[in-house]
Amino acid sequence: MLDVDKLSLNIPDTTKPRVVIIGGGFGGINVAQRLKCKDFQVVMLDRQNYHGFWPLLYQVATAGLEPDSIAEPLRKMFGSDKFEDFHFRLVKVNGVNPIAKMVHTVVGDLAYDYLIIATGTKTNYFGNDEVKKNSFPLKQVPHALNLRSHLFQCFEQASMTADPELQQSLLNFVIVGGGPTGVETAGALAEMRKHILPTDYPGVDFNRMNIYLVEGMDRVLPPMSPEASEKTLKYLQEMGVVVKLNALVEGYDGYVATIKGGEEIQTQTLVWAAGVQGALIDGLPAEAVERGRILVNRYNQVLGYDDIFAIGDIAFMKTDKWPKGHPGVAQPAIQQGKLLSKNLRRLIKGEKMEEFEYVDKGSLAIIGRNRAVADLPGNIHLGGFFAWMTWLFVHVMALVGFRNKLVVLSNWVYRFFTYENGTRLIIRPFVRKGDTVRQQFINKYNTE
Amino acid sequence: MLDVDKLSLNIPDTTKPRVVIIGGGFGGINVAQRLKCKDFQVVMLDRQNYHGFWPLLYQVATAGLEPDSIAEPLRKMFGSDKFEDFHFRLVKVNGVNPIAKMVHTVVGDLAYDYLIIATGTKTNYFGNDEVKKNSFPLKQVPHALNLRSHLFQCFEQASMTADPELQQSLLNFVIVGGGPTGVETAGALAEMRKHILPTDYPGVDFNRMNIYLVEGMDRVLPPMSPEASEKTLKYLQEMGVVVKLNALVEGYDGYVATIKGGEEIQTQTLVWAAGVQGALIDGLPAEAVERGRILVNRYNQVLGYDDIFAIGDIAFMKTDKWPKGHPGVAQPAIQQGKLLSKNLRRLIKGEKMEEFEYVDKGSLAIIGRNRAVADLPGNIHLGGFFAWMTWLFVHVMALVGFRNKLVVLSNWVYRFFTYENGTRLIIRPFVRKGDTVRQQFINKYNTE
C-alpha cells in the first residue's frame, strides 16, 4: 500500500540564495521571469498549476471562452528549456516562520533566503455563511465553469416547467457587487438574453428574464471615475440590467435574496462579486497586517523583515498618493514584481534598492458590444466604441501565450460577426450544496 | 419553497406527427437536421446539451483540445432561427411503452407517433465492479477532463517524492483496450513524454515513465485490416509504448493492475477503453435485443414495431455483408440518420421506404506525429505521413461548427510547429473514489 506521507517538496539543495515565491499570479510570474539568472534558486508554490488572466474569467462563466484561453500552465511558462534552477510545486502553503526562515506546506517545510508573498486575494463574504454556502463566487476557473453549467441548467429547466413562480425564479439572476466583475457579468448576460437565448430556447419568454446588479455604494465601478460610472450605468440600463445602488444583500438561502430594507428577490442564482480580501498566510505578526493586507515599505519589504516581501493585491503600501494602497488590479502587481526582481539582484550585490512608484496606466471595463469605459492617464475618459476597441486590444495583448492571443482573438472575431457564444456546454455537475430545485432534481432523478 | 415536481417536459401540443428522438449523437442529429420541414414536430431528448465529436475526445484528455473544440451545443445547432417546431429537452429517459406509444422520462411522459432510439453506447466493464470503481473511462467530456486533471496531478506528485516505488506507480500508465481510443491515448501520452514533460518537470526522470497498452486479442485495432494493425504496432513500439497482446486485465484496486496469468503492474492510472455496450432503454421486449443491441430491419424499424426505429451504434442490423452488424463508428449512424429522415417522409405519404445499404468509407487511426493508419475502400492501406494528413483533414472537416474547425485547426497548426499542448490545466478535483494516494492527499490536506 502506497502512502501519501512519502510525498515531500523534494527541492534540490543549493549553495545559491533560495527565493521562494508563494503564488503564480501577476506579481509572482513577473518577479520569477526576471530572476532568470544564475544568481538564485527560485521555488514557486501555488495551489493551481496555471497562471490566469482573471479580468477575462467572467467570459468563461458566460460561455465566451474556454479556460485554456485565459490560463497558461505555469510549468509551460517556466520550462527548463527557458529557466534554470526553477522549481514549481503544486502545493498548499500553511504558513511561514520568519525566525527560522521556513515556509510550511502540506507536504513539509522549506528553508528560504528570500520569501515573496504574492498570494493575491480571495472572495470576501463579510462573514455571511449563508451567502457563502448558497452563492456562486467568481474568482477561479472551477467557479467560472460551475457558474456556466449552472446558468444553462437554469435555462434548460425554465423550458421544462409550466409553473410561473418556479420559472421566474430560474430566470432571475442576481449579481452582487458593481465592480468590474459584476458589471461585466451582468453585461454579458444581457447580451446573451438579446442575441442567443431566444433562438436557443424558443419555448421560454425571455422578456421575463431579469438581471439585477446590486451595489452597496452610490455608483457602479466605484474605483473608476464618476464619468465612467455614469456612462456604465447608462449602458447597463440601455441593455435592460436592473441596477440597484445603495443596496446591500443581507441574506440568500438559495431561493430568496434579501436586500437590506426588506426587498426580496426570488432567484436560483446569486453571483457574489461583492468584495475580496487578502489571501493571508499564517505566521506573520499581527502588526504587519492591516485591513487584511500585509504592510510593506517602498521596497515591498514586509514590516519588520528585510528578507520577506509582499507584492500585488496582498501588499499594503501606504503612500501619499495612494493612502489606501494601490488599486486591486494587475498593474501594481506587475510593476512591483518587475522592480522586486531588480532589487533582489541589487540586494545580493550589496547595492541600494530602488523605491517603488506606481505608474497608473488607467483602467477599463466592458459592458457589452461596442460599449466600454476607459479612464486613461491625464484625466481622459472614454466611452462607447473606441473604449471597447481599446478594451479588446489591451486584453488580448495582456494574455500570456501567443496561442492564447490567437484563440481568443479568433473567438472574438467570430462572435463579433455571428453574435454567437460557442461554449455553452453543461459539463459539470451542480455543486452548490443547498437544497435548491436543481439539487432536488439531481437527488431525485440521479441524472449525473 | 420551490418544488422540483413542478418540472415537466412542457412540449406544446400538435396536430402533426410527433417524432421523438432519444440521443443527440451522429444518428440523432442527422435525422433531425433533415426533418426540417413542416410535416413533423421533432422532440430531441438527451442527458447532455451538446453533440460531441467523440473520435477526438482523447485529445481533451491529453491536453490537446478544450471541450468546446469537439462539442457543439445542440440548441445552437437546432436554433429556432433555423428549425421550426423543434424541441430539445435536457432529460434522462427512463423507458418506453410501445403499446401506449409513450416515452417515460424523469420529469414525465411524452406520447410519440414515431420514436427514434439513437442512444449509442456506454462503457462496458464486463461486470467487473472493482475496475469500474477505480479506472478512468473515456466516453464523455467530464471523463476526459477528469483524466486530464488526473494525469497532470500524477506528474506533479511524481515531482514531489523521493520514494522510488511511489514515483514509479505515479509514472506507470496502463491503458486497457487496443481499439482507436486506447491506441490514440497511448500515442498522445508517448508524444507528451517526448516533447513536453521533460522540460515541464525537470526534477523527474521520464525514462522511468511507462505506457502500457493492454489488448485482449492478438493485434491492436482489431476492427481494422491486419496491415493497419501491424503498422500501428510498429509505430507504437517505435514511440516506446509497451504493447501487451492476448492480455486481459482481471482486476485493479487503484494500486495494482492484475493481468490474467499473474503479471502485476503498480499504477495510479488505469484507463478503461476495453469495450462498449449498447445504451439500452427499458420497455422493449427481450426478443428485440441481441448482444446488447436492438434488432432492426433494413428500414431501421425495431423488431416487432413499425413506429419505433433504432439507428447508429445501438441498432443491430444483420445483413449478409455485415452479419455482426455495422462497425461502431460515426458513418453507419450518419447514413442511417439521413436515410431515416427520408423514409419518415415517405411513410407519412404512404410511399414505400428505401432499404439501408452501408457505404464503407474506410477507417482511420492516429498514433502520433506523422504516424497514422488508414484502410480505404478498395482494399487500400495507407500509413505514415499521408495517412496522418488524411486523418487531420477528415477529422477537421467532420467537426460540426465553422468555429470548431477554426479553433481545432489553429490549435493543431500551433502544436505542429511548437510541439506544445496548451491545455494542461488541472481544473477538476480528483473524483475517483478509491483510497489512492491522491485521494489520501486530498483527504489529509484538503487542498481543494
What's the sign of the alpha-carbon dihedral B325, B328, B331, B336?
positive
Mutate to test the interface with B, among A88, A423, A436, A443 (most CBs of B within 10 A): A423
Cβ A66–B68 below 8 Å, yes or no? yes
Residues of chain B positioned with their CB less than 8 A from the CB of A441: 4, 7
At B141-190, the pLDDT tens digits run: 989 998 998 899 899 999 999 999 999 999 999 999 999 999 999 999 99
pLDDT at A410: 75
- CB-CB under 8 Å, B401 with A422: yes
Which residues in chain B touch residue A404, judged by CB atoms under 8 angstroms apart?
A: 422
Ramachandran bin of A270, using left for φ above 0, alpha for ψ from -120 to 50, beta for the remaining angles: beta
pLDDT value of position B393: 83
Q: Most A CBs within 10 Å: which of B1, B5, B6, as the mutation test of the A interface?
A: B6
Q: Which of B72, B184, B191, B215 is catalytic?
A: B184
Judged on CB neighbours under 10 Å (0-12, 13-18, 19+), A209 is buried
Cβ-based contacts of B153 with chain A (< 8 Å): 90
pLDDT of B3 > 70? The answer is: no
For chain A, give the secondary structure using H, E and C. CCCHHHECCCCCCCCCCEEEEECCCHHHHHHHHCCCCCCCEEEEEECCCEEECHHHHHHHHCCCCCHHHHEEEHHHHCCCCCCCCEEEEECCEEEEECCCCEEEECCEEEECCEEEECCCEEECCCCCHHHHHHCEECCCHHHHHHHHHHHHHHHHHHCCECCHHHHHHHHEEEEECCCHHHHHHHHHHHHHHHHCHHHHCCCCCHHHCEEEEECCCCCCCCCCCHHHHHHHHHHHHHCCEEEECCCCEEEECCCEEEECCCCEEECCEEEECCCEEECCCECCCHHHEECCEEEECCCCEECCCCCEEECHHHEECCCCCCCCCCCCCHHHHHHHHHHHHHHHHHHHCCCCCCCCCCCCCCEEEEEECCEEEEEECCCEEEEHHHHHHHHHHHHHHHCCCHHHHHHHHHHHHHHHHHCCCCCCCCCCCCCCCCCCHHHHHHHHHCCC
What are the phi and psi torsion angles at B378 (to 5°)? Answer: 90, 20
Angle (CA) B81 B86 B87, round 5° = 115
pLDDT of B444 reads 53
Pairing mode of beta strands B269-272, B172-176? parallel
Answer yes or no: do A199 and B410 touch at CB < 8 A: no
Q: Of A75, A162, A425, which is closest to B141 when you measure between CB atoms?
A: A425
Asked about B184 being catalytic, the answer comes back as yes
CB atoms within 10 A of CB B166: 22
A157 and A170 in contact (C-beta within 8 Å)? yes
Is the pLDDT confidence value at B438 over 70? no
User: Choosing among B75, B264, B409, which should be mutated to test the A contact, i.e. which has the most A CBs within 10 A?
Assistant: B75
Cα B147–B149–B151 angle (5° rounding)? Answer: 65
Rounded Cα gap, residues B133 and B127, in angstroms = 11
What integer best gives the mean pLDDT of chain B?
A: 90
Nearest to B410 among A153, A406, A420 (CB): A406
Distance CA A292, CA A100 (A): 24
Q: Which set of grid coordinates corresponds to residue B248? A: 486481459
Q: Say if CB A39 and CB A348 are below 8 A apart.
A: yes
What pLDDT, on the 0 to 100 scale, is given for residue A434? 43
CB contact under 8 A, A159 and B66: no
Query: Per the residue annotation, which of A184, A191, A215, A351 is the catalytic one?
Result: A184
Q: What one-letter code names the amino acid at B34?
A: R
| Chain A residues near residue B60 by CB distance under 8 angstroms | none
| B441·A91 Cβ contact <8 A | no
Q: How confident is the model at residue B49 (pLDDT cuts 50, 70, 90)?
A: very high
Q: pLDDT value at position A306?
A: 96
Task: Among B68, B92, B436, select the one facing A422 at the smallest CB separation.
Answer: B68
On whether the CB atoms of residues A341 and A191 are closer than 8 A, the answer is no
pTM assigned to the model:
0.93
d(CA B364, CA B375): 6
Which residue did the predictor score with more confidence, A416 or B138? B138
**In this structure, which amino acid lies at residue B76?**
K
- Signed CA dihedral, B118, B123, B128, B130: sign only: negative
- Alpha-carbon span A41 to A49, nearest angstrom: 19
Summarised one tens digit per residue, pLDDT across range B291-346 is 999 999 999 999 999 999 999 999 999 999 999 999 999 999 999 999 999 999 99
Q: Which of A424, A330, A367, A25 is nearest to A229 (CA)?
A: A367
| Residues of chain A with C-beta less than 8 angstroms from the C-beta of B84 | none
| Residue located via cell numbers 488524411 | B390
Nearest CA to CA, how far is B25 from chain A (Å)? 15
Kindly state the cell numbers that stand for B18.
Answer: 410527433
Q: Domains along chain B?
A: 4-47+91-123+277-348 (3.50.50.60), 129-274+369-442 (3.50.50.100)
Cβ within 8 Å, pair A90-B162: no
Which sign does the torsion angle of CA A203, A205, A206, A212 carry?
A: negative
| CB of A339 closer than 8 Å to CB of A347 | no
- Whole-number Å distance between alpha carbons of B249 and B265: 10
Q: Which residue of chain B comes nearest to A158, CA vs CA?
A: B7
Question: What average pLDDT score do residues B17-27 get?
Answer: 97
Give the three cell numbers for residue A371: 460599449
Number of residues that this document lists for chain B: 448
Instruction: Tell me the chain A residues in contact with residue B71 when contact means C-beta distances shorter than 8 Å.
Output: 425
Are B281 and B148 in contact by the 8 Å Cβ rule? The answer is: no
pLDDT of residue B443 exceeding 60? no
| Separation CA A393–CA B389 (nearest Å) | 35
Terminal-residue alpha carbon distance, chain A:
31
Torsion angle defined by CA atoms of residues A219, A224, A229 and A232, in that order, rounded to the nearest 10 degrees: -120
Q: For residues A324 and A293, what is the distance between their CA atoms, to the nearest angstrom?
A: 11
**Closest partner residue to A425 among B67, B428, B436, by Cβ?**
B67
How far is A367 from chain B, CA to nearest CA, in Å? 24
Nearest CB neighbour to B169, from listed A2, A7, A169: A2
The three cell numbers of residue B123 are: 462503457
CA distances from B288 to B280, B302, B309, B352 (A): 11, 7, 11, 23
Taking the C-alpha atoms of residue A209 and residue A193, their distance in angstroms, rounded to an integer, is: 8
- Interface contact A427-B152, CB threshold 8 A: no
Nearest chain A alpha carbon to B153: A90
Say whether pLDDT at B439 is over 90: no
Distance from CA of A191 to the nearest CA of B (A): 16
Q: Is the distance from CB of B311 to CB of B116 less than 8 angstroms?
A: yes
Residues of B in contact with A198 (CB under 8 A): 80
Cα–Cα distance list, A95 to A42, A117, A297 (Å): 19, 11, 21
Residue A282: burial class (beta carbons within 10 Å; 0-12, 13-18, 19+): exposed
Q: Which residues of chain B make contact with A66, given a CB cutoff of 8 A?
A: 66-69
Question: Which three cell numbers, joined as nine digits, stand for A215?
Answer: 451595489
What residues of B are in contact with residue A401 (Cβ under 8 Å)?
Answer: 422
Instruction: Indicate if the alpha-carbon torsion angle A109, A112, A117, A119 is positive or negative.
Output: negative
Residue whose entry in the numeric block shows the C-alpha cell 483540445: B65
Average pLDDT over residues B74-80: 93
Interatomic CA distance for residues B296 and B289, integer angstroms: 9
CB distance B166–A428 less than 8 Å? no
Q: Which of A70, A401, A66 is nearest to B70 (CA)?
A: A66
Provide the pLDDT for residue A88: 97
Report the alpha-carbon distance of residue B192 to residue B242 in Å, rounded.
Answer: 16
Contact B447 A47 (CB under 8 A): yes
Selecting from A76, A80, A152 the residue whose C-beta is nearest the C-beta of B202 gives A80
Name the closest residue on chain A to residue B428, using Cα atoms. Answer: A142
Say how many CB pairs under 8 Å bridge A and B: 219
d(CA B380, CA B224): 12
User: Which H helix or E strand runs over B366?
Assistant: strand B363-368
Check CB contact under 8 Å for A165 and B2: yes
* A89, A92, A424: residue with CB nearest B73: A424
Q: Strands B41-46, B86-90: parallel, antiparallel or unpaired by DSSP?
A: parallel
Residue B267, pLDDT > 80, answer: yes
pLDDT in tens, chain A (448 residues): 456 678 899 999 999 999 999 999 999 999 999 997 689 999 999 999 999 999 899 999 998 888 888 899 999 999 999 999 999 999 989 999 999 999 999 889 999 999 999 999 999 999 999 999 899 999 999 899 989 988 998 999 999 999 999 999 999 999 999 999 999 999 999 999 999 999 999 999 999 999 999 999 999 999 899 999 999 999 999 999 999 999 999 999 989 999 999 999 999 999 999 999 999 999 999 999 999 999 999 999 999 999 999 999 999 999 999 999 999 999 999 999 999 999 999 999 999 999 999 999 888 899 988 899 999 888 899 898 888 888 888 888 777 776 777 777 777 777 777 776 667 777 765 433 344 555 555 555 443 3
| Longest distance between any two alpha carbons in chain B, whole Å | 75
